[in-house]
Amino acid sequence: MTARIIDGNVLSARVRGEIADRAATLSARGVQPCLAVILVGADPASAVYVRNKVAACEKAGLRSLRFDYPQDAAPAEVMARLAELNADPAVHGILVQLPLPPQFDETAVLEAIDLGKDVDGFHAENVGRLSQNREAFIPCTPHGVMKMLESAAVPVQGAEAVIIGRSNIVGKPMAMLLTNAGATVTVCHSKTRDLAFHTRRADILVAAIGKPRFVTGDMIKPGATVIDVGINRLQDGPDAGKLCGDVDFESARAVAGAITPVPGGVGPMTITMLLENTVISAERAARSRELAPGT
């Protein structure tokens, strides 16, 4: 068996087309959706992601504002910028690219973002709302994964879902979304005993560990759906410089029923959901402006 490929570029193009239509409608109402992106330091991977986000905004008709700070930036300076962006009614989404340099308290920075502009969904109150299955900004990567499952018609209700990784930005929100959608969820991590025992039971397996080609075909249940969240740049060997996921694609593809590639899988969907969250925020702003003109 060779797994069906769930193509994140194809799905992204379709969803971004719908987002561009909504952005155009908003712009015609005088509210062009606007995302502000803050990047601190010169990590080359972060610079690539931020550039991709800004380019994606432009292509879909969203405005983007980019603020770059040096690696040794004073946290107070970034906090002052956040306060300014929070207060600016023309800004609908704010993203602070992670990770931040060590002088920053990451939690404090994320909490300083206005709840209604937290398009990453990393603010503690958005996290709490998601855990209670209430309306919230949903973190972009796990949200993109849910869209991929939906587009591939993968049954989630009643499915055994296994997530490898317990991070705040992927593993934990992924567990909440799958739980809310009716899956039976197991979260595995570095301390899990007998990882393969769990992964071999999974109808849906989500790999978010940050180790290149960690999940191999022998860890996968035949016919399972495998979602690869990893983005690793290979350092050496014959594929040095190439991007690869947390899943060993070749051996996994021979066993799985459906699989996401890297690149061209979850990564582009992350950016797509960021655009969608920004448009949702702008739609709210347009509605309240029209309800209370002149404010």
Binding stretches for ligand GUE (CB under 6 A): 48-49, 52, 95-98, 120, 140, 231, 243, 262-264, 267-268, 270-271
User: Is there a catalytic annotation at residue 97?
Assistant: yes
Catalytic residue among 59, 71, 88, 97: 97
What is the residue-wise DSSP string for 44-103?
HHHHHHHHHHHHHHHHHT-EEEEEEE-TT--HHHHHHHHHHHHH-TT--EEEEPSSPPTT
The smaller minimum CB distance to ligand GUE, of residues 55 and 80, is found at: 55
- Of residues 94 and 286, the one with the C-beta less far from ligand GUE: 94
Nearer to ligand GUE, 31 or 244 (CB): 244
165 is in an annotated binding site: yes
* Count of CB atoms situated within 10 Å of the CB of 182: 13
Active-site residue, selected from the candidate residues 21, 32, 43, 53: 53
Comparison of 63 and 123: residue with beta carbon closer to ligand GUE: 123
Rounded to the nearest whole angstrom, what is the least distance from the CB of residue 122 to ligand GUE in the complex?
7
End-to-end, the C-alpha distance of the chain in Å comes to 60
Whole-number minimum distance, CB 218 to ligand GUE, in Å? Answer: 25
Spatial separation of the C-alpha atoms in residues 260 and 6, rounded to whole Å: 5
Q: Given the complex with ligand GUE, which of 160 and 264 has the nearer CB atom? A: 264
Residues 58 and 53: their CA atoms lie apart, in Å, by 9
The reply to whether 103 belongs to the active site is no
Residue environment code for 68-104, b if the CB has 16+ CB neighbours within 10 A, otherwise e:
ebeeebebeebeebbeebbeeeebbbbbbbeebeeeb
Closest contact distance (angstroms) between CB of 261 and ligand GUE is: 8
Q: Is 231 annotated as a binding residue?
A: yes
CB 31 within 8 A of CB 289: yes
167 has binding-site annotation = yes
From the candidates 117, 118, 120, 228, give the one annotated as an active-site residue.
120
Three-state secondary structure along 175-211?
HHHHHHCCCEEEEECCCCCCHHHHHCCCCEEEECCCC
Please say if 242 is a catalytic residue. no
What six digits make up the tokens of 47?
């610079």
Which residues carry out catalysis? 53, 97, 120
| Binding site feature residues | 165-167, 231
| Binding site feature residues for NADP(+) | 165-167, 231
